[in-house]
Amino acid sequence: MSNSEQRLFQQHLNGLQQLVQDILQTNGLDGIWIHAGEVQYHFLDDQPKSFKINPLFNYFVPHTQACGSWLYLDGVNKPHLYFYQPNDYWYLHEPVPQSFWTEAFQWTILKHADEIKSSLYKQSVDLNRTLYLGDAVQLAQSLGFTHINLQKALNYLHYQRSIKTEYEVHCLQQAQFAALCGHRAAKNAFFDGKSEFEINLAYLQASEQSDLNVPYGNIVAINQHSAVLHYAQLQRKSPAKRNSFLLDAGASYLGYASDITRSYSFDPNDEFAELVQRMERQKLALIDQMQPGYHYLSYHTMMQQSIAEMLHEFDLVRLSAEQIFEEGINRTFFPHGLGHLLGLQVHDVAGFQQNRRGTHKAPPEAYPSLRCTRNLEPNMVLTVEPGLYFIPLLLNPWRDHPLGARFNWQKIDCFTAYGGIRSEDNIVITADGAENLTQKAQTALNG
């Protein structure tokens, strides 16, 4: 795999070099410094926050443990990596990496953070013609940078990031495997009667992650907790009765994230289990229809219509699917977007950005939570994550509404104890359709 990774990475980097040239030319600049980031501390505390790499650094360098490192780019010469590796007996610093990508860079080892100053002045003739990209704005100012996180440059980079290279699709594909191993262990733990806390441990162990390096906080939700969209607690006690389980959890590969959700009914033969299966089928049917040239919003709308049909067919709302959709009742049950771009960030950049110049297109008023207003293009990677939830906060206003009498409250109240359903896969748009990265990895794992 490493040889092909090396080839894919070199192609990826060559494309980025071209992009750097464009950015420099358009903005009258000579070079770009990308700062991986610094150790940050909690307020009034000497405890460091867990380090999260600048995704722009990670876009060029497939290494997430590079706190204090810098990258210099001029778009022509080999990118120059100033890798921070201090002599330190308090913390262990990663050894200098030896991997498929390391030869693509010139290397300088920084033993002290201050050494970047002399490197900076040696490398950049005129700091007024040099761009800083990173979050240590005060440091950048003190070093003499005048161009800091220039929006025009960020727009270029973000737009490019929304169309993945072959190397990036490979990483996103690899990120599925660990997550799916975790999902399998978590499912077993749920059916074995374990608590949310214990299920989370099972997930972390099987996916070989710590809770500090998962790409986002795991959502491990039993029963009505799955109706809390970003449920972050982990109950240590098992509920007396278990109805349902929702797990939204991913993994990372060289910084690229997977974002996968599965839902289960504890009783595989009850009506909630039917609803779960139906949702799974709807998701896969929608993915089968996705293709370049169509607006992501159109697929979101189709899924909202499917939810209206499900509400009708499962006798949850006693109106036709068309009326349910017309009245927007489906939005009470599916109150989030169909999904989002996926990459180095779980909710990846440029979901609303229509071009390199940065034109922003907001989601429509009816769907304010939609995170993507783009036309689909080949090599975009997205999640597809329809949901159907029984959320008291959203349902209660309907109780006094003239249409409230059409709601099957008895059944809805019963399903409230199950919380909700979400099914989430990661897909890549191809030349004429969409490939399901999650399903592909699952098939490979099933062998």
- Binding site for Mn(2+), residues? 248, 259, 340, 385, 424
- Determine if 259 is a binding residue for Mn ion (CB under 5 A): yes
* Known binding-site residue numbers: 248, 259, 340, 385, 424
Tell me if 74 contacts Mn ion by CB under 5 A: no
Nearer to ligand GLY, 35 or 300 (CB): 300
Q: Residue 252 CB, nearest distance to ligand GLY (Å)?
A: 13
Quote the least distance from Cβ 260 to Mn ion, whole Å: 7
Least distance in Å: CB of 426 to ligand GLY? 10
Nearer to Mn ion, 147 or 183 (CB): 183
Task: Tell me which DSSP letter residue 92 carries.
Answer: P
Query: Would you say 190 and 242 are in contact if contact means Cβ atoms under 8 Å apart?
Result: yes
Residue 5 vs 259, nearer CB to Mn ion: 259
Q: Which residue is closest to ligand GLY by CB?
A: 248
Q: Return the number of the residue (5 or 385) whose C-beta is nearest ligand GLY.
A: 385
CB 21 within 8 A of CB 75: yes
Q: Is 248 near ligand GLY (CB under 6 A)?
A: yes
Task: Give, as ranges, the residues between 156 and 195 that touch ligand GLY (CB under 6 A).
Answer: none
Helix or strand run (H / E) with residue 325: helix 321-326
Compute CA distances 337 → 229, 300, 383, whole Å: 12, 7, 10
Nearest alpha carbon to residue 39 among 69, 2, 10: 69
- Measured from the CB of residue 352, what is the shortest distance to Mn ion in angstroms? 16
**Which residues 203-242 are close enough to bind ligand GLY by CB under 6 A?**
216
* Min dist. Cβ of residue 355 to ligand GLY (A): 25
Residue 216 interacts, among ligand GLY, Mn ion, none and using kind-specific CB cut-offs from 5 to 8 Å, with ligand GLY
- Rounded Cα–Cα distance for residues 245 and 4 (Å): 39
Q: Judged by CB under 6 A, which of 385, 387, 418, 420 binds ligand GLY?
A: 385
CB of 307 to ligand GLY, least distance (A): 17
Q: What is the DSSP string of 126-188?
A: -GGGEEEESS-HHHHHHHT-SEES-HHHHHHHHHHHTS--HHHHHHHHHHHHHHHHHHHHHHH
Task: Report yes or no: 326 and 305 within 8 Å, Cβ to Cβ.
Answer: no
Residue 208 — left, alpha, or beta (φ > 0 → left; ψ -120 to 50 → alpha)? left
User: What one-character DSSP code corresponds to residue 421?
Assistant: E
Between residues 290 and 342, which has the closer beta carbon with respect to ligand GLY? 342
Provide the mask over 341-370, with x wherever binding to ligand GLY is found by CB under 6 A and - wherever it is not: -----x------------------------
Tallying the residues shown for the chain, one arrives at: 447
Number of residues that bind ligand GLY (CB under 6 A): 6
Q: Which is nearer to Mn ion, 140 or 372 (CB)?
A: 372
Query: In degrees, to the nearest 5, what angle opens at C-alpha 389 toward C-alphas 387 and 391?
Result: 145
Q: Which of 49, 117, 113 is nearest to 84 (CA)?
A: 113
Nearest C-alpha neighbor of 410 from the set 307, 317, 323, 334? 317
Q: Of these partners, Mn ion, ligand GLY, none, which one is at the site of residue 314 (CB under 5 to 8 Å by kind)? A: none
Please give the residues from 422 up to 441 whose contact with ligand GLY meets the rule CB under 6 A: 424
* CB atoms closer than 10 angstroms to residue 274: 14
Binding to ligand GLY by residue 409, rule CB under 6 A?
A: no
DSSP 402: G
Determine the interface stretch with Mn ion among 30-38, 109-117, 242-250, 263-271 (rule: CB under 5 A): 242-250
Beta carbon of residue 339, minimum distance to ligand GLY (angstroms, whole number):
7
Q: What mask, x for binding Mn ion by CB under 5 A, covers residues 420 to 439?
A: ----x---------------
Distance from C-alpha of 123 to C-alpha of 109, rounded to nearest angstrom: 15
Q: Which two tokens stand for residue 312?
A: 């009708």
Sign of the alpha-carbon dihedral angle for 104, 79, 148, 37: positive
Nearest in space to 178 (alpha carbons), one of 68, 96, 252 = 252
Among 162, 176, 383, 423, binds Mn ion (CB under 5 A): 383
The binding site for ligand GLY (CB under 6 A) comprises: 216, 248, 259, 346, 385, 424
The binding site for Mn ion (CB under 5 A) comprises: 248, 259, 261, 383, 424
